Amino acid sequence: MRRGFGLPQGGRAAGPDAVARVARRAEELGYDSLWVFDRFLFPVAPQTPYLATPDGAYPEAFKGVLDPLDTLLWAAAHTRTIKLGTSVLDMPFYNPVLLARQLTTVDVLSGGRLRVGLGLGWSKDEFDAAGRSMKGLGKLADEFIAVLLAIWTTDPSEFHGEVYELPRSVFRKPVQKPHPPLYLGAFSPGALARTGRVADGWNPVFLPVDAMRQMMETVRGAARKAGRDPGEIELVVRANVNETAQPLGSDRPVFHGSRDQIAADLAATRELGAAEIFVDPSFSRAGESVDGFLSTLESMRELI
């Protein structure tokens, strides 16, 4: 099973030295991958609560988030072999043709190390700021992914849909063939089915182990129905860790609690057959400083 780690991309810890130090140290310690997330504003009066906190409050890490792809390029420049992933880029806030170019650039300049995680977003404030409706997201996602794959795997490339239009054109291709691995952050039945039809893997977050087990079966069933080998769909789990001095109660969020509790969650996730788990301390007290990131990087290495 592969081991990954989140970069210090948001809040007080984020900065060029922090990203470079964590990226280099992760590679030295034998981690397989580095990951970024995607938030572009911190609403003062949120319209949508944050589901991972009891009171719906947004984490400090959402303040001043660095651009995910620029952060990955900076990490790429300070490393040589470690993979570079997005978990996740929210499709409604991008144009697929322009994003294809950005992603291809990261893959080319990193020597073929990119992993692409995509999602649909959840913050009403971000949708408003991007000028996007929260309706019709299923059709948008289907066409968005189709445009990316057309650009990456056909030459010339062309797509004509209800949401997106791509005239017959020639594009630079990624280093990885047929394209960089594509993971979807999916939770609804339709999104899980889409993952099984078109993605290389499923990238869940916040879900208890039993829920991941059940939903992964849905993904595999959709893959089987689409004529794909369900065993080829990877489970790539984001573990937003929050280690506490004392054990937490039975209602604790997954990957939160004492070291023993987090270790138990990681072991149970391994038993699901996860291809990769990546730990991210961004949303905990440890994520408030680069020293906290580096300490977590060291302490979680063996647990993962």
pLDDT tens for 116-151 read 999 999 999 999 999 999 999 999 999 999 999 999
Q: Can you tell me which residue has the tokens 């959402």?
A: 62
Q: Can you tell me which residue has the tokens 């489970």?
A: 235
pLDDT at position 54 is 86
pLDDT at position 253 is 95
pLDDT tens for 16-62 read 999 999 999 999 999 999 999 999 999 999 999 998 888 999 999 99
User: What does the alpha-carbon distance between residue 193 and residue 197 come to, in Å, rounded to a whole number?
Assistant: 6
pLDDT at position 26 is 98
Q: Where are the domains of the chain?
A: 2-232
CA 207 to chain centre: 14
Instruction: Give the pLDDT mean for 71-93.
Output: 98
Instruction: Give the pLDDT mean for 229-242.
Output: 97
Tokens linked to 241: 């860790």
| DSSP code of residue 67 | P
User: Mean of the per-residue pLDDT values for the chain?
Assistant: 97
Fold held by 2-232: TIM Barrel (3.20.20)
Indicate the burial class of 86 (C-beta count within 10 angstroms; 0-12, 13-18, 19 or more).
buried
Strand pairing class (157-160; 165-169): antiparallel
Instruction: Give the pLDDT mean for 173-193.
Output: 98
pLDDT at position 302 is 87
Look up residue 224 and give its amino acid.
Answer: R
pLDDT band at 95 (very low <50, low <70, confident <90, very high): very high
Any alpha helices (H) in the chain, and if so which ranges?
16-28, 68-77, 96-109, 124-130, 137-153, 189-198, 209-225, 259-271, 290-299
What pTM, to 2 d.p., does this model score?
A: 0.97
Is the model's pLDDT at 226 over the cut of 90? yes
pLDDT at position 37 is 98
